[in-house]
Each structure stands twice: as structure tokens, then as C-alpha cells.
A and B are shown apart, each in its own frame.
Chain A
Amino acid sequence: MAAALKRAYLAVYNWAVFSGWAQVLYYAVTTLLRSGHQDVYAAVERPLQLAQTAAVLEIIHGLVGLVRSPISATLPQIGSRLFVTWGILWSFPETTTHILVSSLVISWSITEIIRYSFFGTKELLGSAPSWLQWLRYSSFLIMYPTGISSELGLIYIALEYIKASEKYSFRLPNAWNYSFDYFYASIMVLLIYVPGSPHMYTYMLGQRKKALSKSKTM
């Protein structure tokens, strides 16, 4: 009974977030064709924010043991996504007309459409067709570099607006002797990408090896 409930919940979750990302890709492509890259963000903003923020649930799924993914892989991934979605794009509209927004949302949405349909199919049918599994464990080979470059580019572009606006920053003196500088914090995030990206990429390479060799021996 509990197992069936878990499967039903995960199936619903995965297909719901899938439809969010499908919308993002659809609006992004149609806007690019109809007007231009500067309007892409406005078209995708709502489904993007919804679908991306829903991923916070995945951290909880991992913590309570609903899924097997290690938190060391999900936390940095979701962290960087939320930082870019809310901390850069939503907070600094000056960045949203840049062409990197298009490459960003297209990279993200293609990856996520494949990923959520893969898991959604597994939950519904017990297994996923091998072509979908191949896609899930191969698309990152291109999408990670394009997505990560877009994220880095947008964070870098935002830096001058972050510094000028003083947004999210606290200055001394205050009773709790605390200060926070969003500009320097953003630079730290950029630096974390240096060891972080190879870590994520090699993690996925390992997962790919495990998954695709397993299906061969079956």
C-alpha cells in the first residue's frame, strides 16, 4: 500500500514538473521565432519559476528517503538553479534581455523534460524505454556545458547591477555585528563553479557508465 502511494505521488510529481518545463521550452522557442531573444524571459518567467522552485521538493525526497539520489549531488544543482532563477534573473531585470537567457532556459528545459519524463515513465510503467534512458544519461554531455556557460555568463553580467544596487546587503554597524555583501557572495558563487562543475560532470559520467552498462548486460 505504502509502495503504491509512493509511486503514485512520484508519478504525479514528475509529470507535473515535466509539463512546466515543456511550457518553458515551447514559449522560449515560439518567442525566439516570433520576436527575438530579448522577449524570451518575459514569456517563460512564470512556468520557469514554478518548475524550478518545485525542485526544492526533491531535496526533501532525498532526505526522507523517497528517492536514492545523494544530497551531495542534488543540493549544488538545485542551489545554483535557484540562485540564477531568483537571485539573478528575478532580482535584476536588466539581465533578462540578454541572449544568454535563451541558451539558459533551452538548456535547462531540454535536460529537465528528458529527466522528468524518464522518472515519470519509470514510476508509471515500472521501467523506461532504452532510448529514453539513453537520452537521460547522454543529454547532459551537451546541456551541462551550455547550461553552465549560460549561468556563469548571466551571473557575471549581473555583477555590475548587483554592486550598484546594494540589494540584499547588510552593512556594519548593527546590534548583531553582521554584514553581508551580495556582490562578493556572487563572486564566491562564481568561484565555486570552478571545482563544482567538474564534480557534477564527472558524477553524471559515472552515473551514465553505471546505467548504460547495466542495461547492456540485461
Chain B
Amino acid sequence: MHLGLTEPVRECQYNQICTRNSSPMENVGHTKKRSPQRKWQIFPGRNRFYCNGRLMMARQTGVFYLTLVLIIVTSGLFFTFDCPFLASNLTPAIPVVGGMLLIFVLGMLFRAGFTDPGVLPRATPDEAAFLERQMDATNGSSGPGYRPPPRIKEVVINGQTVKLKYCFTCKIFRPPRTSHCSLCDNCVERFDHHCPWVGNCVGKRNYRFFYLFILSLSFLTVFIFAFVITHVILRSNRTGFLSALKDSPARYPFTKGNCQMLSHITPRSQAGSKHSEVPISVDACVCALVSVWFVAMRACGFYRRWSAFLDGVGLTVLEVVVCFFSVWSIVGLSGFHTYLISSNQTTNEDIKGSWSTKRAKDNYNPYSHGNVLTNCCAALCGPLPPSLIDRRGLIQPDTPQPAPLSNGSSGYTTQLHTHMCDQEQCIQSTKFVLQAATTPLLHSGPVVIGRGGPPLSGKSSLGVTCSSLAPNQPSLPSSMPGLSCAGDMLALRDPETHCHHHHFVSPEETPSPPGPMPLTLPCTAHAGHLNPAQLYDPASQDSLHEDSVRGLVKLSSV
């Protein structure tokens, strides 16, 4: 083959380029010093990150801020205008309990809103290629350009057949109970729903926070509602209910007359702050805000419908009624989620009726522990899995794009990953070479050139055979039929390290797949690289070898 003669020369040149370009550690270090990028900055989903990757939310956060404002304003009004009266006339425990509830509600809201809900990282190119090959193998390969129908895997879980769908965005088979959120563009484990009120998806990792949020919010709402009513009643006991309502500062808010009247009635509060002269209008405002709270639309609807009734009876009554309905709705939501937790279902499953007996007589929920108490405990007190996307990890320049690390096991895995990346950079090519060497297809024309023979010959035939290969993006070595990918993988995902490979290749064969196929050709570089004394400068060879084996060596030395 023509390769045989020109190979040695090219390899030398190639090797020099390789040496020059790939002191990946130097480049990495240099790049790192300049602008250490963190992984959240290149996160593929539609999320927003705050505090340098510590907090994570969905893209649309407007409704979250509305929730926050409503809660804070309502509670603020309650504490400012109702609590002084109640504290002095009933017990000071009321504002204390109210305060604790409020803090808990806000804490849970922030936790639910800012926590990673259980996003599954997208597949690395290797994995994606592996899965695609498996699917092709099982379904028979189709011609280029034809997209196979969505793939489904069936698994039997505790006796129930569950279908696992293939996610084309994330390139994985979704685990059971995982769903792809279209708003956030992520696959989320145990996906419940996307909640605009908390500004995030609700999934495995933040479901308990969401549940505790709505539960504590129900308590807070009921608490405020009850004590506002108590306040109105107490005052009306002193002035008479009708006059209290009639003089309801809903119409004449904050009038001096009202204040004086009230202060006259409540001698104890006279010595107190003037806040004790609470106009009942504030109570009405509180009720109104609470009512608007999670049922804004409904409140508007009610208002329109009842506007005629309003004039007659007064806003106060309406507000109490609407407040009651809003309390009912948030309490209803808590009740619904309590049911979901006790039966270990997600909102998604309940809406679809996945485990309903209406679908099939012997349909049952395979995830339920069988016992209501166990289900509740598991959902609320079970172990909290760590985040699978390493938001704050530093990006290594040669890191394969979707290659997340866990937040928990930072040290070892980071180190390992770094080493893996270093070596992968250099060795991925070799893998293709080897695959080329080992493929029956390529055995057709092997030319042995020292050690680099088989790979090189493989490459040449690769150029021929691989033109129509799997439309895959993997630029990293994948398994077997990566042979096909090997051929395709001529383009370089990582120009700084691979460009030379490309140069090397182009004279020999037309890079068959133009842009889209990231091809890694580096094989030949390493092929040469692996011919120890024959064609190379030992120093460069050593450095490359070091890089490529770094992972293994470091592993042993740690």
C-alpha cells in the first residue's frame, strides 16, 4: 500500500506536531489560570445558576418572585397589624409561632426552588455511541439519513412491565419514573411536575422540600386566616359586629376616627404602640392578599361574579369567602400531595393513571412499599441522594462535554477524571487504531509497518469503509463498532490536540464526513507514538505515554 512508504516520514512529522501541541497539562494549566470555567457555565439545559453554581433554578423565575412577595407582604401585614393586638390580648405565642412558621415556609421555598431536582446528566459521547450501536444491532441498521423510531426498552419491576423510553435530547434510556422537562430541557429523576411557583422542577431531590413547603404554607395560611378572623371577632365583640363591619375600614382605611374608636375600646393597648389601633381594613387587606395567593385567577373570577353582591354586603365578607377558598385550595394541594406520597406516586403518574386499576385489572404500583407509613417515611425521611451534575467542578479543557462529576466525591473522582481526560485525549485515537487492527473488515489489507503497521493500514481502509457511518458525535473512543465510528471520527472535537491529526490524515484520504461527524483520527499519531524507538523522539513518546497512562499510574500511586 502506498501508506507503507510514506508512513514513517509522516509519522515523524506527525509526532512532532503531537509533541508540540499536546503538553495538555501546560495548556490546561495556562488556560486554568486565565479563566477557570466551571461546569455550570456550559450546562446544556435551560437553567439559571446563581452564586457561582451553588443555586439552580428554571429559566422563568417571575412567578417565584411573585410567590415570595405575596408571602412576605401578607405575613408582614399580619405581624405589623394583627399581632400586636393578638399578642397583647391573647398570648404572645401567636407571633412567635407565626414567625417560626414563616421562616420554615421561606426556608422550604428556597430549598425547593434552588435545589437541583435530580437532573440526569446527558450521556457522554461514548455512552451515546454505545447505546446507538446496541439499538442498531437490535433493530437492524437502517440507511443513512433514516431516523429509527423512538426506542423503548421494557423492564419488569416487581412484576409490572414498565417501558423505558429513549430520550433523544439526553441520549439515554430514561430510568423508570424519569421524565424530560421541556421547560428546563433536562431529564429529571422521579419527575413530579414543573412548578412555576417555586421556579423549578419538582423531582427526586427536592420533592420533600416542595411538600414541606406547601404543607407549612397551608398551616401558615390557616394560621393567618384564623387569627385574622379572631381579631375581627374580638374587636367586634367590643364594638358590635355590624358596626365593626360597617365601619369596616375596607371603605375607610386607616381613618383617624377608626383608630381613636378602637383605641378607646382597648384600654390595654392604649399604652401600647399605635399599631394596636389596627384598622380592620388591614385585616381585609391581609385576607385579600392571602386570597390572591395561589388562586389569583380564581380570585379574579370570583370577584367578577360576585361584584354585584359586593356592593351590598361589603368587601370584607367577600374577602373572607375568597380567602376561605384560597386556603382551601392550598390545603387541597397539600392533601393531594399527601395522597401521592402515601401511595408513592408522582403527579405525572397520577395524571396519566399509570397505576390505576382502570387500565388493567392487575395494575398496581410497583414502587410502593405496600405500607402508607413506609411510603411517607421513605419520601420525607429517606436518604437524600447527591446531585449528579457537578455544577461547580472546574472544566478541564480536554474534558468530554457531558461528563459530570458528583458533588460529593470531589477529590478522588476529580483527580481520576483529570487523569482519565488526559489520557483519553491521547489514547482515544489509539483505540481506533486498535479497533481498525482488530476488525475483520480491515484485515483485508493490512500492511505491517513495524508496530504501527496494522493501525495505519487500518486507517487507510477505514477511510474507505467508514464514509457512511453512524452519524455519531462521539469523539471519544467508544466500544466495538466504534470501528465504524473510528472511520467517521475524523473531525476533531478538540482542535488544539487533534488538528495535527487532521492534517495528517487529509492528504491520505478524503475526510469522508464533512462537518457534523466529529472524527478523531488521532489514532495514527498514537500509532506512531507507540512505535517506541523506531520513528520517534523518545522524549515526546515518553510524555505522551505518560499522559496516556497517567490514570492508571495515579490510581496505583494514590
Real binding pair: no
